[in-house]
Amino acid sequence: MNNADLIVATLKAAGIHRGFGIPSGNVLPLMEAMRRGGVDFVLTAHEGSAGFAADVTGRLTGTPGLCIATLGPGATNLATGVGCAFLDRSPMIALTCDLNTDQIGRRIQMWIDHHTLFRPITKATLRLERGRIGEIVSQAVALALSEPMGPVHLDLPEDVALAATNEAVPPPAPRAKIAPAPDGAIARVGELMAGAKRPIAVIGSSAMRMADPSLLRQVVERHSLPFATTTMAKGLIDEDHPLVLGVIERACRQHQRRLLRSADLIVGLGYDTIEVEYEAWIGDVPLLQVDIEPVDIAPSVKLVHQATGDLNASLKRLAALPASHNTWTAAALAEHRQQFQSALRPSSPTFTAHAAIDAVRRALPREGILSFDVGAHTHQIASQWSAHAPKSFLITNGWSSMGFGLPGAIAAKLARPDLPVVCLIGDGCFQMTCGEVAVAKRLGLTLPIVVLDDKWLALIKVKQIRRQFPLYGTALQEEDYREPPAHYFGVPAVGVRSADVLEAAVRKALAADGPTVIEAVVDSEHYVDTVYD
Ligand X SMILES: Cc1ncc(C[n+]2csc(CCOP(=O)(O)OP(=O)(O)O)c2C)c(N)n1
Rounded distance between C-alpha atoms, residue 73 and residue 192, angstroms:
53
Q: Does 454 engage in binding with Mg ion (CB under 5 A)?
A: yes
Shortest reach from residue 9's CB to ligand X, in Å: 36
**Residue 376 interacts with ligand X (CB under 6 A)?**
yes
Nearer to ligand X, 505 or 520 (CB): 520
C-alpha span between 490 and 516 (Å, rounded) = 10
User: C-beta of 406: minimal distance to ligand X in Å?
Assistant: 11
The reply to whether 427 sits near Mg ion by the rule CB under 5 A is: yes
Contact at 8 Å (CB) between 84 and 151?
no
CA distances from residue 158 to 125, 127, 420, 441 in whole angstroms, order as listed: 17, 12, 40, 31
b/e map 258-272, b = 16+ CB within 10 Å: ebbeebebbbbbbbb
Q: Tell me the closest approach of the beta carbon of residue 395 to Mg ion, in angstroms.
A: 16
Site for ligand X in 115-134 (CB under 6 A): none
Neighbours of 169 (CB within 10 A): 18
Beta bridge partner(s), residue 424: 372, 450
Q: Does 426 bind Mg ion (CB under 5 A)?
A: yes
Residue with smaller CB distance to ligand X, 97 or 424: 424
Q: Note whether 404 binds ligand X by CB under 6 A.
A: no
Between 475 and 511, name the residue whose CB sits nearer to ligand X.
475
x-or-dash pattern for ligand X, window 136-175, by CB under 6 A?
----------------------------------------
CA-nearest of 313, 135, 330, 317 to 226 is 330
- Which residue, 27 or 432, has its beta carbon nearer to Mg ion? 432
Q: Rounded to the nearest 10 degrees, how much is the dihedral formed by the CA atoms of 324, 326, 330, 331? A: 170
314: nearest Cα among 188, 176, 146, 194: 188
Smallest distance, Mg ion to C-beta of residue 464, A:
14
Question: Phi/psi at 326 (nearest 5 deg)?
Answer: -150, -170
Q: Pick the closer one to Mg ion by CB: 282 or 356.
A: 356
One symbol per residue from 419 to 448: x for binding ligand X (CB under 6 A), - otherwise; what is it? -------xxxx-------------------
405 binds, among ligand X, Mg ion, none (CB under 5 to 8 A by kind): none
CA dihedral 280, 284, 289, 294 (to 10 degrees): 60
Residues linked to residue 290 through DSSP beta bridges, in sequence order: 269, 307
458 binds Mg ion (CB under 5 A): yes
Specify the residue, 360 or 429, whose C-beta has the smaller distance to ligand X. Answer: 429
Q: Is 87 in the site for ligand X (CB under 6 A)?
A: no
Per-residue x/- mask for ligand X, residues 448 to 477, rule CB under 6 A? ------x-xxxxx-----------------
Q: Does 247 bind ligand X (CB under 6 A)?
A: no
Binding partner of 55, given Mg ion, ligand X, none, CB within 5-8 angstroms per partner class: none
Q: Which lies closer to Mg ion via its Cβ, residue 456 or residue 488?
A: 456
Query: Helix (H, G, I), strand (E, B), or coil: what is residue 47?
Result: helix
Question: Shortest gap between Cβ of 210 and Mg ion (angstroms)?
Answer: 34
Q: Give the footprint of ligand X on residues 336-375 (CB under 6 A).
A: 373-375
Beta carbons within 8 Å of 35's beta carbon, 6+ residues apart: 41
Q: Where are the beta strands (DSSP E) in 27-127?
A: 40-43, 65-70, 92-98, 124-127
Distances 1 to 112, 158, 163, 164, 191 between C-alpha atoms, Å: 29, 15, 9, 6, 60
Interacting residues toward Mg ion by CB under 5 A: 426-428, 454, 456, 458
Which spans of this chain sit near ligand X (rule: CB under 6 A)? 373-377, 400-403, 426-429, 454, 456-460
